[in-house]
Structure 1
Amino acid sequence: MRGPSTAPAHRLDLQSLQAIGKFDQTLGAGEEPGAEVSGDIEREDGAEGSGTALIAERILKVAGLSPDGDLASLRLDVRESATALAEGRIDAFFWSGGLPTGAITDLRRSTTIRLVDLGGVVGELTRSYGELYTETTVPAVVYGAQSAVTTVSVPNFLVVRRDMPDSEAYWLTRLLFEGQSQLIGAHPEARRLDRRTAIATHPLELHPGAARWYRESHP
């Protein structure tokens, strides 16, 4: 799902096969004390049309900043953003992902990076845009920070078209869980796949084919 559309899921004809834990929206900055969310910051807030860009714009708005008027912005993916910060071309960037995010782990090997506490905006973000935005903590151990940092968390769903045949949805859901060990090898966040919580897909409907697999696999 691209761009800042706020159309209800039923209008977009989307359903979900599973909830895949939550992703953290995090703001990282260089080591200079002035590299905060302020009027002279040059920042990157996600590739064009990405969920990262949408959430970053909402965070900035509730913080009282205009994403286009107060800040100079670039639209890069997370690895491009990490490179730009290391080269001093940007002051800070938002990214969204599981813990840890590989590009950030790699960046820390050569560049000092601080995580900016976003606890002050979570309440207004939830009031303005809905209860899917929640407060979470990035433990210090994840990126070797001096202390834990409060940030914003959003649910992550595997989304399919409503008209996907039930048989395809069933087998795709089954494949994901049967292949979980291989997925963990690709990214540790795959450990979060849990059939007990995967069905919590609100506000999206659970696809009937996926629902059938969950019923059949229930111990």
Structure 2
Amino acid sequence: MKKGLLFSIALVAAMMMCLSPAMARTKFVTIGTGGITGVYYPTGGAIAKMVNKKKKEYGIRATVESTGGSVFNINAVMNGDLEFGIAQSDRQYQAVHGLAEWKDKGPQKDLRAVFSIHPESVTLVAAIDSGVKSIKDLKGKKVNIGNPGSGQRQNAIDALEAVGIDINKDIQAESIKASEAASLLQDGRIDAFFYTVGHPSGAIKEATSGARKVLIADVAGPGIDKLLAKYPYYAKAIIPIKLYPGAKNDKDVQTFGVKATLITSAKVPDEVVYAITKEVFDNFEAFKKLHPAYGTLTKEKMLEGLSAPIHPGALKYYKEVGLMK
């Protein structure tokens, strides 16, 4: 009995000795994304897939996590719960400068940028029977502005305040995840919802394809122009209505938007960030084909909209290929 026990212990120890070097060589990283019907989740999946193809070369195993969005991802990266996260460019700016949700915490000095990805438009979807044709018509309506911790929530608040609408007094504000808003709109439980997203979007297609007729409302006007002049991370955007044949629009939608960006921490090793950057840029044409929202991407545009310092691992790659000096 005793000999058998000793043999078992010795066998387990030998197995651990054999496995330990391989396990030590593999670095496990997680990319925080967003809801599974948005663009963040497949974006994170595409990046992870590219890196995992060369797992033996880099010793990196990447996984993707569906999360509450930009604010959650930034905080999780700063806390060390995630190695990477996708976040809106405005949220990156606010975290770096200690604004909005980071006002009490102060500037997030360890936040690092890797690259930007696709443009994201502030999208306002409204039911025809609600009478909403533009953002100014939302007074008195039941509107989903997004869950706490999502970038779109602040975008919605900024847009509403810019046109003189108080979210606490003038509308019935709901705080539901964007992935759930389309079904709520179709069920008649809300009149409209905001979603900051790349287009085409599965959630917007769902919202515009149901029995309840909807349109995508303009988020534009003098108030919005002032908003864009105030904040450098906002820019005008157009949503091509041909992407949503079910929407009852007769022309493209005027709105504004931000960019989706990949962020990390200064504490993540240079070689890990370098590998992820290299795989995306070296396989740029393949990456562009992974989602229609990437259609207008160029390598140069992927270095725009970054407020945080660029991580040294990413910077090394950009200098090697001449994208930065």
Q: Deviations over 1:129-165 (max 9, x none)?
A: x121111111221212311110111122111112222
Q: Deviations over 1:181-211 (max 9, x none)?
A: 6655653223444322222244222222112
Partner of 2:229: 127
Once the two structures are superposed, the pairs formed by residues 30-41 of structure 1 within 5 Å of their partners are 30-32=127-129, 34-35=131-132, 37-41=137-141
Q: Is the 8 A contact 1:15 1:206 kept in 2?
A: yes
Unaligned runs of 5+ in 1: none
- Runs of 4 or more above 4 Å deviation: 178-186
Say if 1:193 and 1:161 are closer, same or farther in 2 by CA, change over 3 A.
farther
Say if 1:101 and 1:65 are closer, same or farther in 2 by CA, change over 3 A.
same
Q: Is the 8 A contact 2:288 2:297 kept in 1?
A: no
One of 152, 158, 161 as aligned partner of 2:265: 161
Partner of 1:104: 204
One of 71, 84, 100 as aligned partner of 2:184: 84
Identical counterparts, % of pairs? 25
One of 271, 274, 297 as aligned partner of 1:170: 274
TM-score (norm 2): 0.61
Q: Is the 8 A contact 2:124 2:216 kept in 1?
A: yes
Larger Rg: 2
Partner of 1:23: 120
Letter paired with 1:124? K
Question: CA offset at residue 35 of structure 1?
Answer: 3.0
Aligned pairs, number: 218
Say if 1:38 and 1:97 are closer, same or farther in 2 by CA, change over 3 A.
closer
Q: Is the 8 A contact 1:24 1:152 kept in 2?
A: yes
Partner of 1:187: 291
Which has more helix, going by share of residues?
A: 2
Match of 1:2, SS state, is helix
TM-score (norm 1): 0.88
Question: CA offset at residue 109 of structure 1?
Answer: 2.1
Match of 1:59, SS state, is helix
Q: Does 1:45 align with 2:149?
A: no
| 167-176 or 119-128, larger mean C-alpha shift | 119-128
Q: Is the 8 A contact 1:42 1:91 kept in 2?
A: yes
Partner of 1:71: 171
Q: Is the 8 A contact 1:46 1:52 kept in 2?
A: yes
Give me the CA root mean square deviation: 2.4
